[in-house]
């Protein structure tokens, strides 16, 4: 697990990797996804590894590439949403990813934390904006790994949608073969954060597709595992 920096002392931001779990095969080893055909017993054991490392219960989501952000007060239910936030201490908020970008958010004084699952659909729909609105400002952000701009190929309709929404998004696309485009997901997310006045304090700028030893990647191998970014507000 990787600790991201630059946050208040009372806030932890953690990014899991493939290492440290019990899953085997294409899910080896710390797969945290329950919907990818892995052995449910192994997934539960992997999630317990994360809870033990954080010394806190983990609040999970049923993610659907949407923009809904929910407030959490406990880890009990698993709501359908792609972002969550809390003012509670000792509650780790998680989003699962395997090529999509995880965006961790917190207030500068650490009294609010949140996390968003930001694939291209979520970014276009406004998942960062909906999370920021729910949490209230000001906020700072950390970014996890995601599929990189050298390999993330999309159709012309994706580029058109982003550029129609914001002409500056054109800088995040590069022409590829035929009518396809290479998309810089991280750049698109940063544009959204800048427009909201949110400063990125740490960025785990790695390509999930390009490092099969460290990261799961949906585009490289599906079904495969999921990593998670977790945001935790510690009790003072």
∠138-94-228 over CA atoms, to 5°? Answer: 115
Count of domains for the chain: 1
The secondary structure of residue 198, as a DSSP letter, is P
Place of tokens 């697990």: 1
172 in any annotated domain: no
211 in any annotated domain: yes
Task: State the pLDDT at residue 46.
Answer: 98
Dist. CA 96–CA 85, nearest whole Å: 15
171 in any annotated domain: no
- Report which of 115, 108, 78, 118 is spatially closest to residue 199, judged by C-alpha positions: 108
- The residues near 145 (Cβ < 8 Å, ≥ 6 apart) are 15, 97, 101, 204, 205, 206, 207, 208, 215, 227
Tens-digit pLDDT string for the chain (236 aa) = 999 999 999 999 999 999 999 999 999 999 999 999 999 999 999 999 999 999 999 999 999 999 999 999 999 899 999 999 999 999 999 999 999 999 999 999 999 999 999 999 999 999 999 999 999 989 999 999 999 999 999 999 999 999 999 999 999 999 999 999 999 999 999 999 999 999 999 999 999 999 999 999 999 999 999 999 999 999 87
- Report which of 156, 194, 192, 195 is spatially closest to residue 174, judged by C-alpha positions: 156
111 in any annotated domain: yes
191 in any annotated domain: no
Task: State the pLDDT at residue 55.
Answer: 96
192 in any annotated domain: no
What's 93's domain CATH number? Answer: 3.60.140.10
Task: State the pLDDT at residue 236.
Answer: 72
Dist. CA 47–CA 54, nearest whole Å: 11
186 in any annotated domain: no
Task: State the pLDDT at residue 235.
Answer: 86
181 in any annotated domain: no
How many other CB atoms are found less than 10 A from the CB of residue 34?
16
Dist. CA 183–CA 53, nearest whole Å: 34
CA-based torsion, 213, 225, 3, 209: positive or negative: positive
Is residue 134 within 8 Å of 69, Cβ to Cβ? yes
In this prediction the pTM is 0.97
- For residue 220, the enclosing domain spans 2-146+198-233
């Amino acid at each position: 697990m990787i600790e991201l920096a630059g946050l208040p002392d009372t806030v932890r931001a953690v990014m899991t990797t493939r290492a440290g779990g019990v899953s085997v095969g294409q899910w080896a080893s710390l797969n945290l996804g329950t919907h990818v055909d892995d052995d449910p017993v192994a997934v539960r054991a992997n999630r317990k590894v994360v809870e033990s490392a954080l010394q806190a219960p983990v609040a999970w989501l049923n993610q659907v590439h949407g923009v809904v952000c929910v407030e959490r007060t406990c880890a009990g239910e698993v709501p359908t949403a792609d972002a969550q936030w809390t003012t509670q201490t000792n509650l780790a908020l998680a989003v699962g990813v395997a090529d999509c970008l995880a965006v961790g958010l917190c207030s500068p004084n650490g009294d609010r934390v949140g996390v968003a699952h930001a694939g291209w659909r979520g970014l276009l729909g406004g998942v960062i904006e909906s999370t920021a609105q729910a949490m209230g400002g000001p906020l700072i952000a950390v970014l996890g790994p995601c599929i990189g701009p050298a390999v993330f190929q999309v159709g012309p309709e994706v580029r058109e949608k982003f550029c129609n929404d914001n002409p500056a998004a054109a800088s995040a696309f590069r022409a590829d073969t035929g009518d396809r485009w290479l998309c810089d997901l991280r750049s698109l997310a940063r544009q959204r954060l800048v427009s909201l006045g949110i400063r990125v304090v740490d960025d785990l700028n790695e390509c999930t597709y390009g490092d099969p030893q460290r990261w799961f990647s949906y585009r490289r191998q599906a079904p495969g595992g999921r990593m998670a970014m977790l945001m935790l507000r510690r009790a003072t």
